[in-house]
Structure 1
Amino acid sequence: MRVFEFIIVITVVYGIFEYLKQRQKFQQERIKHEKVTGDLESELTNIKERLVVLEKIVTDKGYDLKQEIDDL
């Protein structure tokens, strides 16, 4: 009877160990995903700000693309 109880305890401990290992792996992947998401959001904000500047330049009445090209 003791062998059976020992096998059950070993099985439960192994199950808990595997659960904790998978949980740690999931948390590491989530942290990595959050970092990538933050980087992408930062880059998108930067691109939006640059687009606003470009729109201001292009819509400025004093802007003359042909003149700028000729000056080059």
Structure 2
Amino acid sequence: MQATAYTYDPQTRSGSVLLDDGTPVPFDAAAFDAGGLRLLRPGQRVRIEYAGQGESAGTISLVTLQTF
């Protein structure tokens, strides 16, 4: 799924993205690290993946740059 980077804190390596409908969704350092990124700027298009099912459903597990 695609989204737009909204916030990013380089100290904690966490932040949030905006889905295309405008909904903000937070991500943690584990999701950021899984994507192999070093830096993220607000406004960049990103690709996100969600984790599993149950309690973790809806949790972002991967954030990486969107490439065409």
Query: What interval of TM-score do these two structures reach, taking the shorter chain for normalisation?
Result: under 0.3
Q: Give the structure with the larger helix fraction.
A: 1
Work out which structure has the larger RCO, using CA pairs closer than 8 Å and 6 or more positions apart in sequence: 2
TM-score normalised to the size of structure 2?
0.16
Greater share of strand: 2
TM-score normalised by length of structure 1: 0.15
> Which one has a bigger Cα radius of gyration?
1
